[in-house]
Structure 1
Amino acid sequence: MMMQTLETPNQKNSLFNAMNRFIGAVNNMDQTVMVPSLLRDVPLDEDREMSSLKSDMDEGDMYSYYQLLKSIRQDIEWGVRRAAAEERLKESMKITRMNSSVSSSSASSSSSSEDEEDEEEDLEKQFQFHLTGLHGVLSKLTQQANSLTKRYKQEVGIGGWGQ
């Protein structure tokens, strides 16, 4: 049984609670899917909520997505794998360089205190942007883990159990 905490309206949108909801949904999925191989060759596109994923994945079956959801849960719980983290860091550095070159080309000479204020404001904006994005992604992934669990139950004929 999944442990749920009571959330106040302000806490509902916290990153911590979004991560917990996702981890709970993946744990439920993992406990429900007793034979993951049954998900092989089951297309994602039969489920409206999961059909958008098909274009993002090399293999368009539910088994691949089941493995992906578990991998994301592991990254959240144990940290991002080194190779993936290095790739994300390179991508982030490219974006940062592009942003800084745009801002430096548009800015004329300014004092160092203004630069520090701009940098702090920029970091705050970046944080808010990424926090909002991460929360949105976690919400979608949670829905999709729940959807995969529901689909698995339908595939194996246990749709009436544990709802």
Structure 2
Amino acid sequence: MMMQLPESHVQKNSLFNAMHRFIGAVNNMDQTVMLPSMLRDVPLEEDREMSSMKSDEDEGDMYSYYQLLKSIRSNIEWGVRCSAQDENHKESLTISRKNSSASTASTASLSSEEDEEDEEEDEDLQKQFQYHLTGLHGVLSKLTLQANFLTKRYKQEVGIGGWGQ
């Protein structure tokens, strides 16, 4: 059993906690939805909360969202499955980096110009990381709301709207 520590503001907004909340919401949804097929043909746009989270490419019914949320949970828990093409790309990058580092090792020292480029690249990586971390946190928050909403809608559809709210 994991010991729970009081959440500070920083912990509450951590990526780990956002993932934990999302996985918990999807697990709750999965335990509540006993008959996923009942979600077929139930439109998404009946609720303002849900429609504001949809993108232009989101079409379909509650069942497709149910499947999507479960798939995302699986990707978070087990990792994204790579295709053979992705693996080949990773191998070629590894070989390229090894060749690059071997040629760099043969050079006696880095020039100050290269040092500046490395510092800029490190700063750029930090900015990219912050950008993507913020985006991922926002997406996980929206997905958590969607999982909670889907659970609530399912309860309404089967007539158990007053339970566990």
Normalised by the length of structure 2, the TM-score is 0.77
Partner residue of 1:97?
none
Q: What is the aligned partner in structure 2 of residue 111 from structure 1?
A: 113
Provide closer, same or farther for how the CA distance between residues 40 and 137 of structure 1 changes in structure 2, counting only shifts above 3 A.
same
- Give the one of 138, 150, 153 matched to 1:151: 153
Helix, strand or coil for the counterpart of 1:42?
Answer: coil
- Higher CA-based Rg: 2
SS at match of 1:142: helix
1:10 pairs with 2:6:
no
2:132 to 125, 130, 133: 130
RMSD: 2.1
Q: 5+ residue gaps in structure 2?
A: 90-111
Deviating beyond 6 angstroms after TM superposition, the runs of 4 or more aligned structure 1 residues are: none
Letter in 1 for 2:39: L
Write the mapping of 1:26-105 to structure 2, written as runs, cut at 5 A: 26-51=26-51, 52-53=53-54, 55-57=56-58, 59-83=59-83, 86=86
Q: In the TM superposition, what whole-angstrom CA distance separates every residue of 1:52-101 from its partner, at most 9, and x where no partner exists?
A: 426323x4100000000000000000001214x94xx9xxxxxxxxxxxx
Residue-by-residue CA offset, 1:34-66 (whole Å, 9 max, x unaligned): 000000000000021222426323x41000000
**Unaligned 5+ residue runs, structure 1?**
90-109
Change (3 A) 1:148 1:5: farther
Distance 2:10 2:160 in 1: 36
SS at match of 1:43: coil
Whole-angstrom distance in 1 between the partners of 2:25 and 2:74? 13
Pair 1:67–1:6, CA change in 2 (3 A): farther
Q: What one-letter code is carried by the residue in structure 2 that aligns with 1:29?
A: M
Shift of 1:5: 6.5
How far apart are 1:155 and its partner, in Å?
0.6
Change (3 A) 1:143 1:78: same
Residue 120 of structure 2 aligns with an amino acid whose one-letter code is: D
- Asked whether the 8 Å contact 1:40–1:63 carries over to 2, the reply is yes
2:6 and 2:158 map into 1 onto residues whose CA distance is 33
Percent identical among aligned pairs is: 76
SS in 2 for 1:53: coil
